[in-house]
Amino acid sequence: MSDSPALRLSVLDQSPVPSGSTPAQALANSISLAQHVESLGFRRFWMSEHHAMETLACSAPEIVLARIGGETSTIRIGSGGIMLPHYAPMKVAESFETLHTLYPGRVDLGIGRAPGGGPLESNALRRTRTGPAVDDFPAQLSELLAFLHHGFPPEHPFSRIRLSPQMPGSPDVWLLGSSLWSGSAAAEFGLPYAFAHFFSPEPTRMAITRYQQEFRINRELEEHTRTQPEAMVAVGVICAETQAEAERLASSVRLLQLRIRQGDRSPVASVDDALRELAGYGSLPEEPGEFPRYFIGTPDVVRAGLTEMANSLGIGELVVNSIIHDHAARLRSYTLLADVFKS
């Protein structure tokens, strides 16, 4: 399902909550979407982690993935991502080893450093609230990898711990990010790297280039990490039969992006409501970045843009995120995208 054998397409879902609907329906839509894109041949289905947002229903991706794994059979399932600073590495390892036990060979563990919410939510999620928050992400990630791959040295007290459940193999760990720091960190740990371009479009090329240039093999966990760089980029996509219809559908996510910047986390507006509200903003400035955050248009237009981006960045996979108010239109967008990449 690609324009060339090198380009693969996957899905990142955030369980968007349409106005007039409920979080329960948003999660049901995620299950429906996973089944749909599996039938279309997409490679992965990842779920995001966001906290205290009426807009997005998925605050516990590991729970939703347990259900989605049972409702699908071949597509890889994973987190995009688990926000590691909120959790003890051993608990994350146990959760994803459980998923791996249920669905062996299909589980990705995408790890992020961002909070997935605002400062208040981050404070509520802290493991301890005595003193300022400590940024120990590299140590956390090292500990997580050691739990997953029995990588503690013999003298380390945790070397005596054997996680349960445990099966041959392990989840495939990815580092996620939207900054230059994350590109360097993924390179240092020898991990595959997913850049959130739809969230932070300006540093995309520099982050991917830094990752590719700085990548080194993780000799301590060489058997379980990469021997060469593997990067992919998460982009927004809205496809429709006509350019006008695609632009119309995109009004909901355009308004959503404006609202979030203003601290408004309300559900995704309908197209008609979004168009009315957007009209009050007048002419909006062009977004920064070499590539658009959202590729919007007919299938041929979208394919050309995605292919150019992937080739320009030297990457072999793109992760597609689509927020559309109407679920049927969202399913249709993925169908059109899959069909054009098969042609």
Cis before 131? omega within 30: no
Q: What is the pLDDT of residue 6?
A: 59
Report which secondary-structure segment, H or E, holds 44.
strand 44-47
Contact assessment for residue 111 and residue 84, using Cβ atoms and an 8 Å cutoff? yes
pLDDT in tens, 3-39: 444 589 999 999 999 999 999 999 999 999 999 999 9
SS3 (DSSP) at 223: coil
Q: CA-CA distance, 41 to 338, in Å (whole number)?
A: 8
Number of residues that this document lists for the chain: 343
pLDDT in tens, 93-112: 999 999 999 999 999 999 99
Read off the amino acid at residue 255.
L
Q: CA-CA distance, 317 to 165, in Å (whole number)?
A: 31
Q: Where are the domains positioned within the chain?
A: 8-342
Closest-CA residue to 28 (of 12, 11, 13): 13
pLDDT in tens, 237-267: 999 999 999 999 999 999 999 999 898 999 9
Q: What is the pLDDT of residue 125?
A: 87
List C-alpha distances in Å: 68 to 2, 71, 116, 180, 184.
24, 5, 21, 32, 32
Across all residues in the chain, what is the average pLDDT? 94
pLDDT in tens, 226-236: 999 999 999 99
pLDDT in tens, 121-164: 888 888 777 777 778 999 999 999 999 999 999 999 999 999 99
Q: CA-CA distance, 325 to 16, in Å (whole number)?
A: 8
Closest-CA residue to 337 (of 295, 308, 309): 295
What mean pLDDT do residues 183-189 have? 97
pTM: 0.95
Q: Which residue has the higher pLDDT, 119 or 329?
A: 329
Q: What is the pLDDT of residue 1?
A: 45
For residue 339, name the pLDDT band (cuts at 50, 70, 90).
very high
Options 1.10.10.10, 3.20.20.30, 3.30.70.920, 3.30.2320.50; CATH for 8-342 is: 3.20.20.30
Give Cα 168 distance to the centre of its chain: 26
